Structure 1
Amino acid sequence: MSEKYIASLDVGTTTVRCLIYNSKSQILANASDKVRSVGCCEIDEEEIFQQCVYVIRRAIEISGLTASDISCLGIATQRNTFITWDKDTGKPFHHLMTWKDMRAASYVRDWNKSYVMMFIRSASRLLYSVTGSLRHLAVSLLQFKNTHVCMRLKWMLDNNKELKKRASMKKVSFGTLDTWLVWKLTNARCYATDFSNASSTALFDPYVLSWSSSICMLLGIPMHILPPIFDTCDDYGYCDEKFFGYKLPIRSLVGDQQASMFGQCCFEKGNMKCTMGLGTFVDVKMGGQPMVSNQELFPIVGWKIKDEVVYLMEGYSSDTCQPISWLQSCGQLMSELLIG
């Protein structure tokens, strides 16, 4: 077949969706399913994986194509939702802990007010005044947030005895949602994340484009549990043939907000987009160098494709949906005005 098609999997906080596009960027099929939360803002890791497999199969079926007609699969996911699992058995130590989970809120509050962080910020300000390095300026303004992976991962390591024990034996794999899905789809043949997802965790140093040994050492997070970081467009292996009857290539992983920036063609410095869903996210393209904001905005990687690295500054409100839902429950808004 001469025509080329791609499959796009979007795994959000409320919906899992797969779309099939042709070479003219026309949508041939759209299949979706609702994400169901369990426990304290957790997601069942096996259920959401099966939902992903289902919507991909369904989209291919609706399009009238077969899996072998699809050139590749790209995956965009909600960021900062993570899981850990045993390297030997593949068994998770807990459900996916989402970016909405507040169990580490006391950690965030206490660490931000701690003498350790006060010293680090002061020392970084001094280093910035001497060196002029934006990296030191960024650290001097660092504030941990509930949405960051780092504090929730520390909380999980402190409160899950089996996880802590196996981590001390170097038998733990950590992954954000994208990593988990790729690992499952490839039948454990690919274990990786991309720069856009990694940079959102607060475990990543955008100035050197690698996991931050300083943050990991500070919080007691073993770096050996972290996955390799690939380009946003890269070779993430193939979906195991048992899922779609064909070894469908996976060629991209990207965080959902960065995917939105790319999809809206925000390719020029200063371009901005605002996404309103469960939360509101405003992203501004800063170009090829990470910038610093005195408004507690930390630079993140938009995408990395070969030698091109694009940086963003991001601000967000994580509770946009709550007041709208409350108004709806009070009869103040018509349900048809709400976007699922």
Structure 2
Amino acid sequence: MTQSILVLDEGTTSTRAMLFTATGKLLGSAQQELTQHYPAPGRVEHDATEIWHRTLACAREMVEKAGGADRIAGIGITNQRETVVAWDRSTGEPLARALVWQDRRTAEFCDELKQAGHEAAVQEQTGLLLDPYFSGTKMRWLLDNEPAVAAAAEAGTLSLGTIESWLVYKLTGGNFISDASNASRTLLLPLGGAQFDDGLCDLLGVPKSALAQVTDNSGHFGVTLKELFGAPIPITGLVGDQQSATIGQGCLSPGETKATYGTGAFILANKGTEIPGSNNRLLGTVLYQDNGERTYALEGSVFVAGSLVQWLRDSLGLLGTASETETLARSISDSGGVVIVPAMSGLGAPHWQPEALGVIAGLSFATGRAQIARAALEAMAHQTYDLAEAFAADGAKWTSLKVDGGMSANDWMAQDIANMLGLPVERPDFVETTALGAAMLAAKGAGLVPSLNEASKVMRGSVGRFEPEIDERAKQQRLVNWRRALSAI
């Protein structure tokens, strides 16, 4: 009997279910958008019940396409990482809206911790900086500001988890786990520690009793409730979205680097079994854990990438479709001096300015839609260039860059990144490597392949390549303009 892999890809703006063969061929997908709630500037929320219902609907569509639950060897889950859900484990119902990774409401708390001198010790333990981006301070905010969350904590029935924890709990009817890649994004897990740390929990004011058990990224994590799909399906892979894309790109050896351009932009370099450190405000994170042994990555996170194009389309009405940016960028020889610093959710690595606001510089009466669209795409290369310099300073110089994610399908942007980096940019024909990485882990967990290296050989497809081609003077002038615009923040 043919055995398929079902991947649940829980993104920021949508949820998807994707069906793969054991050789990595995509058989089908179903997708539903997620409602974005913006209750105040800097605040971004999701409805956890909506996430569950829409994920379940997409999954059922793919189970039917597979020919039934008995045709699926395992489920892999990949997810937006730092988003936090609070629910009552006695009822299985959420206690508040989920706080999304983009949410900045805990900036003041992070500043208090920094001013008290805690950041260096936290970074040494967790590889992370004290920033609202990460899950732990969001958990604390929910405890302090949502009475239902505080009451559940007092009653001992509170669960605090990231999206994979929430989905596993709902799918299995009660399993409460978090894989090491997601757990390493909370500020509560030491990179060298097996479970969440008492001291870090005390520092952030998060009860350890409300947290999940930390697990490997592939294995047997329980089975789905029979009534959901007609028969139980084992859950065999769990991984945060950026680690999943790194695996899906085949970055399984130290030094191999990928960049995912989706809602945000995230660059990870495999660091092997060496716990990574940074002097340039990059992040250390767990890439994956196998039989209790961890492989690590060095990461640079940009908060705004595809969401900038979405803003130009939906809020300003400058675009009809996101793909229109490529046509507009090609229609002119340069941006006319227009530079966009897309700090709508603060600035991430390597700047880490959570209170920063976006800037559009260099406007004139000659500025039109094309100049702004081109400047939006150029901002991706500018931010990537800053990260390349930071990685090199930390001893992780890139020799090429593997790109993926929805924005990477834009040929003009991929070429522009190669031009600004002065490096080859590689893009797989199948750019949905986030889902592919989860499929690879699930295939290993289900016993369809013996290792991730074997899964990579069997499941990954062909790759295209963009070589740099730009006048050095034009490149340097763009960097001058970029740094000038950064200084205006």
- Is 1:183 the counterpart of 2:183? The answer is no
Q: Find the counterpart in structure 1 of residue 204 from structure 2.
A: 219
Match of 2:68 among 48, 66, 69: 66
1:219 Cα deviation (Å)?
1.9
Residues 161-187 of structure 1, C-alpha deviation per residue, up to 9 Å, x if partnerless?
A: 332233133221111110110100112
- Specify which of 109, 112, 128 is matched with residue 110 of structure 1: 112
For 2:318, the aligned partner's letter is: G
Q: Is the 8 A contact 2:126 2:191 kept in 1?
A: no
Decide which moves more: 296-305 or 72-81.
296-305
Change (3 A) 1:334 1:57: closer
**Residue 81 of structure 1: which of 80, 83, 88 is its match?**
83
Determine the C-alpha separation between the residues in 1 that align with 2:206 and 2:268.
29
Q: Which moved more, 1:190-199 or 1:53-62?
A: 53-62
Q: Which amino acid aligns with 2:144?
A: D
Moved over 6 A (4+): none
1:141 positional shift: 8.4
For residue 134 of structure 2, the aligned residue among 148, 169, 172 is 148
From the CA coordinates, give the structure whose radius of gyration is larger.
Answer: 2
d(CA) in 2 for partners of 1:161, 1:53 = 29
In structure 2, C-alpha distance between the alignment counterparts of 1:90 and 1:331, rounded to whole Å: 43
Matches within 5 A, 1:97-176: 97-112=99-114, 114-117=115-118, 121=120, 138=124, 143-176=129-162
In structure 1, C-alpha distance between the alignment counterparts of 2:16 and 2:157, rounded to whole Å? 33
Shift of the alpha carbon at 1:208? 1.9
Letter in 2 for 1:336: S
| Cα distance in 1, alignment partners of residues 217 and 324 from structure 2 | 35
Using a 3 Å threshold, how does the CA distance of structure 1 residues 137 and 99 change in structure 2: closer, same or farther?
closer
Hey, what does 1:31 align to over in structure 2?
30
Q: Distance in 1 between matches of 2:126 and 2:110?
A: 16
- SS at 1:59 equivalent: helix
Q: Distance in 2 between matches of 1:37 and 1:7?
A: 26
Q: Which amino acid aligns with 2:296?
A: Y
**Residue matched to 1:129:** none
Deviations 1:147-169 (A, max 9, x none): 10111111111112332233133
- Give the secondary structure class of the aligned counterpart of 1:331: coil
Q: Deviations over 1:33-87 (max 9, x none)?
A: 1121234421111111111111111123334x21111111111011011111223
Which residue of the partner structure matches residue 288 of structure 2? 303
Please list, as runs of the form range in 1=range in 2, the aligned pairs for 1:257-296 lying within 5 A after superposition: 257-296=242-281
Compute the RMSD of aligned alpha carbons. Answer: 2.2
Q: What residue is the counterpart of 1:48 in the other structure?
A: 51
CA gap 1:170/1:262 in 2 versus in 1, 3 angstroms: same
Contact 1:43 1:95 (8 Å CA) reproduced: yes
Q: Distance in 1 between matches of 2:78 and 2:196?
A: 21
**TM-score of the superposition, structure 1-length normalised?**
0.88
Count of equivalent residues: 321
1:73 maps to amino acid: I
Alpha-carbon contact 2:126-2:184 (below 8 Å) kept: no
Preserved contact between residue 79 and residue 197 of structure 1 (Cα < 8 Å): yes
Contact 2:125 2:191 in 1 (8 A): no
Query: What SS is found at the alignment partner of 2:200?
Result: helix
Instruction: Say if 1:326 and 1:250 are closer, same or farther in 2 by CA, change over 3 A.
Output: closer
CA distance in 2, matches of 1:79, 1:137: 18
Amino acid at match of 1:106: E
**Offset at residue 263 of structure 1 (A):** 0.6
CA distance in 2, matches of 1:241, 1:137: 43
Amino acid at match of 1:317: V
Shift of the alpha carbon at 1:238? 0.8
**Are 2:220 and 1:238 aligned?**
no
Structure 2: gaps of 5 or more residues: 326-405, 408-489
Q: 2: CA distance between counterparts of 1:17 and 1:45? A: 15
CA contact (8 A) 2:126 2:190 kept: no
Aligned partner of residue 209 in structure 2, secondary structure: helix
User: In 1, are the aligned partners of 2:82 and 2:135 still within 8 Å (CA)?
Assistant: yes
TM-score, normalised via structure 2 length? 0.62
Distance (Å, rounded) in 1 between the aligned partners of 2:318 and 2:92: 47
Aligned residues of 2:8 and 2:78 also touching (Cα < 8 A): yes
Is the Cα–Cα contact under 8 Å of residues 301 and 312 in structure 1 kept in the other structure?
yes
Q: Deviation at 1:116?
A: 4.2
User: Is the Cα contact below 8 Å between 1:141 and 1:296 reproduced in 2?
Assistant: no
Which amino acid in the other structure matches residue 100 of structure 2? Answer: T
The unaligned stretches of length 5 or more in structure 1 are: 125-135
Partners of 2:194 and 2:282 in 1: how far apart? Answer: 18
Residue by residue over 1:215-259, the C-alpha shift from the partner in whole angstroms, topping out at 9 and shown as x without a partner, is 111122111111101110122111111111010111111100011
TM superposition shift of 1:322: 4.3
Quote how far apart the aligned CAs of 1:139 are.
5.1
Q: How much has 1:326 moved relative to structure 2?
A: 4.5
Which residue is 2:7 aligned to?
Answer: 8
Name whichever structure is richer in strand by fraction. Answer: 1
The answer (yes or no) to whether the contact 2:223–2:235 under 8 Å persists in 1 is yes
